[in-house]
Amino acid sequence: MQSFFEQRGPRLDTSSPSVRHIHDLIRHSSPVHIELEGGQSLQGTIRWLDQDFLAIQQDLDLPLLMVNRTKVVLLRLLS
Q: Write phi, then psi, for 19 (nearest 5 degrees).
A: -70, -40
Range of the domain at 45: 17-77
- With bands split at pLDDT 50, 70 and 90, how would you rate the model's confidence at 64? very high
Q: How many whole angstroms from its chain centre is CA 48? A: 6
Supply the CATH number for residue 33's domain.
2.30.30.100
Whether this prediction's pTM lies above 0.85 is answered by no
Higher pLDDT, 78 or 18: 78
Q: Could you tell me if residue 70 is inside a domain?
A: yes
Contact predicate 19/53, CB 8 Å: no
CA dihedral 50, 65, 27, 69 (to 10 degrees): 40
Average pLDDT across the chain, whole number: 89
Q: Could you tell me if residue 32 is inside a domain?
A: yes
Residue 8's pLDDT is what? 61
Higher pLDDT, 14 or 78: 78
